Amino acid sequence: MQVQLSFPTSRPRRLRANKLVRDAVAETSLSPDDFIMPIFVKDGAGKEPIDSMPGYFRWPVDGSLVEHVEEALSLGVNKFILFGVLPDDVKDPEGKASYDPQGVVPRAIRLLKETFGDRVLLFADVCLCEYTDHGHCGVVVRDGRGWRIDNDRTISIYAKEAVVYADAGADFVAPSGMMDGQVRAIRQALDAAGYQDVGIMAYSAKYASAFYGPFRVAASSAPKFGDRRTYQMDPRNSREAVKEVMLDIEEGADIVMVKPALAYLDVVRLVKDWFPWVPLAAYSVSGEYSMIKAAAKMGYLDERLVALEALFAIKRAGADLILTYYALDAARWLREGTPF
The answer to whether the CB of 105 falls within 8 A of the CB of 165 is yes
35-42 and 321-324 strand pairing: parallel
Residue 214 CB partners (closer than 8 Å, separation 6+): 50, 52, 53, 286, 287, 289, 290
Q: Check if 315 is active-site.
A: no
What distance in Å separates the CA atoms of residue 144 and residue 226, rounded to the nearest whole number? 16
**Which amino acid, 225?**
F
Q: Check if 160 is active-site.
A: no
For residue 152, count other CB atoms closer than 10 A to its CB. Answer: 12
CA distances, 307 to each of 38, 290, 311 (Å):
16, 11, 6
**Which amino acid, 253?**
A
Find the catalytic residue in 42, 91, 259, 272.
Answer: 259
Q: What is the CA radius of gyration of the chain?
A: 21
Find the catalytic residue in 42, 79, 91, 206.
Answer: 206
**Which amino acid, 212?**
Y
Select from 54, 55, 112 the least CA-distant residue to 82.
112
Please report the sign of the dihedral spanned by the C-alpha atoms of residue 212, residue 218, residue 219, residue 222: positive
Catalytic site positions: 206, 259
